[in-house]
């Protein structure tokens, strides 16, 4: 067996082990209820889980807790007991799970990565924009203080500068954009997106740097890099955006047929 074959085999068995571990974990709540662990000479579900699945006591407690929490949420409950989703990912959504969003959350935990699920939950819990202090260098701060001491309304000056900036961006975004089959974006468009949104993810609640420029209008349909429909996103919010797009498209197709 060469190095490549060995690595492929190890990865295959590793992934298979993870899948079977999820299925084993999902069965534990029912085995606990029926006390079937006693048939294998185990004094508790914890002993049974450790002996046959290598699970820690904390993992077992989490599985039992989730099963209880999802009693009135059939889709999330099904995802747990059928071993479709790991308990670690399900634990991320338990704080926002309700019978009303049961179906939506079950789809999210099945189709998103753990980091994207964490980001989604954080967004759902968010209730207001975080306050931030302005980072002004000494020269700018000194000039503003000087103007203010002269009785000049610095708010009016700053507001005028911001309005001018927004007008310039709006004018640049209003330029016609030709359709194209290429996913390559011109430097001009890249600079305009950076000018408008900066270097951070464009989701107001997110502080992460942007990694991907997302087409809010699906490129495969629009064939356009119109800056009015471009948004820089972090990796997690980009994944969420595509998951939502897929959900909307699936709903439209369902309604159509």
Q: 249 lies in a domain?
A: yes
The DSSP output letter for 228 is: G
**SS3 of 214, please?**
strand
Domain span holding position 163: 138-176
257: confidence class by pLDDT, cuts 50, 70, 90: very low
Say if residue 97 is in the same domain as residue 144.
no
131: confidence class by pLDDT, cuts 50, 70, 90: low
Instruction: Round to whole Å and give the CA distance between 92 and 105.
Output: 10
* Centroid of chain to Cα 58: 26
Say if residue 91 is in the same domain as residue 155.
no
255: confidence class by pLDDT, cuts 50, 70, 90: very low
Return the higher-pLDDT residue of 257 and 211: 211
Say if residue 94 is in the same domain as residue 196.
no
pLDDT digits (tens, 9 = 90+) for 223-246: 888 888 888 999 999 988 888 766
Q: 156 lies in a domain?
A: yes
Closest CA to 85 of 54, 51, 64, 114: 114
Q: Which residues have C-beta within 8 Å of that of residue 136, sequence separation ≥ 6?
A: 144
Instruction: Round to whole Å and give the CA distance between 54 and 24.
Output: 10
Q: 130 lies in a domain?
A: no
Say if residue 15 is in the same domain as residue 72.
yes
CB contact at 8 A, 212 and 233: yes
- Structure pTM? 0.66
Total domains in the chain come to: 3
Say if residue 109 is in the same domain as residue 170.
no
């Amino acid at each position: 067996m060469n190095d490549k074959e060995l690595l492929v085999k190890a990865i295959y068995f590793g992934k298979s082990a993870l899948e079977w571990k999820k299925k084993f974990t999902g069965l534990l709540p029912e085995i606990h209820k029926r006390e079937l662990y006693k048939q294998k000479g185990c004094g508790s579900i914890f002993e049974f889980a450790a002996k046959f699945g290598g699970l820690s006591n904390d993992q077992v407690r989490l599985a039992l807790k989730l099963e209880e929490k999802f009693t009135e949420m059939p889709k999330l409950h099904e995802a747990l007991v059928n071993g479709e989703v790991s308990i670690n990912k399900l634990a991320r959504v338990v704080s926002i799970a309700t019978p009303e969003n049961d179906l939506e959350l079950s789809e999210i935990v099945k189709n998103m990565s753990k980091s994207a699920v964490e980001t989604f939950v954080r967004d759902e819990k968010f209730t207001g924009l975080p306050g931030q202090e302005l980072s002004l260098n000494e020269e700018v701060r000194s000039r503003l203080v000087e103007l203010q001491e002269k009785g000049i309304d610095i708010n009016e000056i700053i507001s005028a500068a911001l309005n001018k900036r927004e007008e310039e961006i709006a004018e640049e975004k209003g330029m016609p954009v030709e359709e194209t089959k290429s996913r390559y974006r011109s430097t001009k468009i890249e600079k305009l997106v950076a000018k408008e949104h900066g270097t951070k993810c464009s989701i107001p609640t997110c502080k992460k740097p942007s990694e991907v420029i997302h087409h809010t209008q699906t490129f495969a349909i629009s064939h356009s890099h119109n800056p009015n429909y471009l948004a820089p996103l972090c990796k997690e919010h980009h994944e969420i955006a595509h998951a939502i797009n897929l959900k909307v498209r699936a709903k439209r197709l369902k309604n159509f047929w």
